[in-house]
Amino acid sequence: MIIIVKQNHEQKQLDNLIKWIKGQGLGVDLSVGENSTILGLVGDTTVIDIDLVRSLDIVENVKRIGEPYKLANRKFHPEDTIVEIAGRKIGGDNFSIIAGPCSIESEKQIIAIAEEVKAYGGGFLRGGAYKPRTSPYAFQGLRENGLKLLLKAKEETGMPIVTEIMSASHIDLFRDVDLIQIGARNMQNFELLKEVGKTGKPVLLKRGLANTIEEWLMSAEYIMSEGNHNVILCERGIRTFESYTRNTLDLSAIPLLKELTHLPVIVDPSHASGLARLVKPLSLASVGAGAHGLMIEVHNDPIHALCDGKQSIKPIEFKEIVDSIDVMLPLVDKKRN
């Protein structure tokens, strides 16, 4: 349920209303925008007499919300959420580029890639330390040591870092990580979602391999219901019958999500296609569809990469993509951040 408050209300009236709602055992999400003030009610709203609320002086309108996700719902929060991370912004009219290797392989590798990514316009450095691999015999990532190397690259370049968490037991190790990634395979690991929710740290929530948009938003809701509203969604392709590509990029999810939610939406064209040569066209298509950013796998030696070399582009190709994005951004009213 949302309560739209009259523009000329007095603060005291609003405070009283919020107090009354909380007294009914419900949570309140207050959204104060330029044109409207909205109270989003979270919990079992059947206890609320909608006609009574509608008759209050301060109330302009009351609506029940049909969707199961509330805090992530655009109706609760009409204005775009902008997530601030280490002085940078993701969401709204900002366009953010996260880039780096699939996995951190050595100090030399991560620092060399970080420097090039930064020079060519990347805003955030990615790199996997804990890798979710289909085979237990495949490279599992450098784990704790990988995190240390990523932090070193952050220190050297000043770039905020993004890396995937696979277990709630690792949360303390992620203290200095700027943006915690929940990978596709963990999108519905609800205990993990709750734990990262409790940290209050920005979370990059990737779409599950075969999950609907509604299921994805419910996962965002898990994080948000712990009080952490710093959630960024990442479309990374879904499983279809098509086998030429690793996954199928669901481009329509981008404009659709922008209707359904106020959370920022970025795209990972690398995992979506699995093919380096498709990364540029899919990146530009994502800009055109209204994405708030991209996450791209970049490697300085893709042929010898320990993970996902086939879909990794070289730094110089990354530069070409960023240059083309810069040409497109004014057309979609965004600026690179």
Q: Which residues bind ligand PEP (CB under 6 A)?
A: 102, 128, 132, 164, 183-185, 206, 236, 268, 271
Residue nearest to ligand PEP (CB): 183
Cβ pair 114, 153 in contact under 8 A: yes
Q: Which long-range contacts (CB under 8 A, 24 or more apart) does 316-319 make?
A: 317/276, 317/279, 317/280, 318/99, 318/116, 318/117, 318/120, 318/122, 319/120, 319/121
Which among 48-56, 70-78, 94-102, 224-232 is the span making contact with Mn ion, rule CB under 5 A?
94-102
Which of ligand PEP, Mn ion, none lies near 262, with the C-beta cut-off 5 to 8 A by kind? none
Cβ pair 181, 196 in contact under 8 A: no
CA 35 to chain centre: 26
β-strands 37-42, 27-32 pairing: antiparallel
Cβ pair 40, 77 in contact under 8 A: yes
Which of ligand PEP, Mn ion, none lies near 127, with the C-beta cut-off 5 to 8 A by kind? none
53 binds Mn ion (CB under 5 A): no
Helices and strands (H, E) in the chain, number of each type: 10, 15
Whichever of 163 and 199 has its CB closer to Mn ion, that residue is 163
Closest approach of ligand PEP to the CB of residue 325, in Å = 20
306 binds Mn ion (CB under 5 A): no
Whichever of 220 and 296 has its CB closer to Mn ion, that residue is 296
Site of tokens 């990737």: 206
β-strands 265-267, 231-235 pairing: parallel
Which among 12-20, 96-104, 202-210, 211-219 is the span making contact with Mn ion, rule CB under 5 A?
96-104
Which of ligand PEP, Mn ion, none lies near 250, with the C-beta cut-off 5 to 8 A by kind? none
Length of the chain: 337
195 binds Mn ion (CB under 5 A): no
Whichever of 103 and 228 has its CB closer to Mn ion, that residue is 103
Closest approach of ligand PEP to the CB of residue 286, in Å = 15
The residues of the shown chain that bind Mn ion, judged by CB under 5 A, are 102, 308
